[in-house]
Amino acid sequence: MGFGLGKYLTALAVLTSSTLAADWYAKDVRQGGHDPSMIRTEDGYVLMSTNNMLLMWNSENMVNWKNYGQVLKSVPQWMDGISAKDNNGVMQKVGNLWAPDIFEINGKYGVFYTGSSVFGKNFSAIGVAKNSTMSGSGWTDVGEIVRSTDKNNYNAIDADVVKTTEGEYWMAFGSFWDGIRLIKLDPNTMLQSASDKTVYKIASRGGKGIEGPALIEHNGQYFLFTAWDTCCKQGNEIEQTTYKTAVGRADKVNGTYYDRSGKKLNDGGGTILMERYSRYVGPGGGEPFKDLNRIRFVHHYYDLTGDKYNHIHIRD
C-alpha cells in the first residue's frame, strides 16, 4: 500500500545537501530530556520533557532554550489513589509527573501528564492541567482522565492528543502490556467523553516493547508513531539501548492502522522510521507537531560519541 508520509520523509533526506535543508531538515538541540512535546505559539516554541515536574522551556529558534515556568508545583493529591506496593511489599506513591503532551483544544491549552507509583507495574494514571493561554504560569489541574491497575491489560502513561478533521479530540496512550489505546475526549472538560467510553486498541506487539504513541492528522489520514524496544540506557549502558521509532497509518482515528507492507499495527505491524545510526542511539519517544508551514518531529536520542546521555532532536 502507498505510504505518503514515509516517501515525504525520504525525500527530505535526499535534500540535505541543499542550503535550505541545512536549516530545516534537522536541528540537534543539545537540550537534555526524554519524551519531548512541542507546540508553536505566537512567541515561538514551547518544549516540555519528562521527569522534571512539568517544567517548560521556550525558544524563538528551536536551538536556544530558556526556562518558561512550571505547570504544576507538586503531584496532585488525587494521584494517591494509584499507590501500589513495590516488589518488596512497600507501598509507593507517585513521586513525579512526566511524559507531558501540550495541545490546544478549542482555544485553550492542556498539558496532559503521567504519574506511576511503581516502575514496571501498570499502576498509572493520566491527568491534565489547563490554561486559557500558553503561559509559564496560571495552570489549573483538571484531574484524572484515565487510570490503570493490575486489573487492566494496558498501562495509562504517555498521553498524546490529536484533533480530527471533524473537530473531535482523541487521546492515545499506552506502554507494553497489550499495546496502545485510544479514548475520545470532551473538548470542554478535556476529560474522557461521556458519549463514548470505549477504550480502543490501535497497536500491539503482543507484550513486546511498544510505548510513547503520538498521532497527527495529515490530508485526512492519521499517522501513529510509536517507540519500540529498550529505552533509556545511557552512559556506560548506552549499548543496551535499542529504542527506535515505528509508524503506521489509518483512514479513521480509531483505526484500523496499517504499516507500509499492509500489516495491521494491532498484529505487530509498524514501519521503522528511525533507528540507531551514526552517533544517534535510540531515536524515539517523539511526537509530530504542526509548525507554521510544515510538520516537524521532536524526539530524544543518546549521543554515542559525545556524553552518551539524552538530548533533543527536531526534524521535518
Q: What is the mean pLDDT of residues 236-257?
A: 98
Listed range (20-29, 205-214, 251-260) with the worst mean pLDDT: 20-29
Q: Give the separation between CA 146 and CA 62, rounded to whole angstroms.
A: 32
DSSP 77: G
Cα separation values, 163 from 104, 141, 144, 169, Å:
9, 21, 20, 5
**Residues of the chain by 3-state class (helix, strand, coil), percent to 5:** 10, 45, 45
Stretch (H or E) spanning 273: strand 271-274
Residue 5 has what pLDDT? 53
Closest CA to 242 of 207, 272, 203, 205: 272
- What percent of the chain lies above the pLDDT cut of 90? 85
Q: What is the mean pLDDT of residues 20-43?
A: 78
**Which residues are identified as catalytic?**
35, 211
Q: Give the separation between CA 287 and CA 41, rounded to whole angstroms.
A: 17
Q: What is the mean pLDDT of residues 296-316?
A: 95
Give the pairing of strands 244-250 and 140-148.
Answer: unpaired
For residue 260, pLDDT over 50 is answered with yes
8, amino acid identity: Y
Listed range (24-33, 64-73, 85-94, 225-234) with the worst mean pLDDT: 24-33
Q: Give the separation between CA 34 and CA 111, rounded to whole angstroms.
A: 16
What is the band of 25 on the pLDDT scale with cuts at 50, 70, 90? Answer: low
Q: What is the mean pLDDT of residues 298-309?
A: 96
For residue 257 the three cell numbers come to: 492502522
What is the band of 4 on the pLDDT scale with cuts at 50, 70, 90? Answer: low
What is the band of 29 on the pLDDT scale with cuts at 50, 70, 90? Answer: confident
52, amino acid identity: N
For residue range 39-65, list pLDDT tens digits in order.
998 889 999 999 789 999 999 999 899
Q: What is the mean pLDDT of residues 273-293?
A: 95
Query: Is the pTM value of this prediction over 0.75?
Result: yes
Contacts 24+ apart (CB under 8 A), 163-167: 163/105, 163/217, 164/217, 164/222, 164/253, 165/217, 165/220
For residue range 129-174, list pLDDT tens digits in order.
999 999 999 999 999 999 999 999 999 999 999 999 999 999 999 9
Q: Give the separation between CA 129 and CA 137, rounded to whole angstroms.
A: 11
Alpha helix (H) residue ranges in 25-97: none
For residue 300, pLDDT over 50 is answered with yes
User: Which residue's entry shows cell 501528564?
Assistant: 113
Greater confidence (14 vs 184) lies with: 184
For residue 23, pLDDT over 80 is answered with no
Question: Three-state SS for 280?
Answer: strand
- What percent of the chain lies above the pLDDT cut of 70? 92
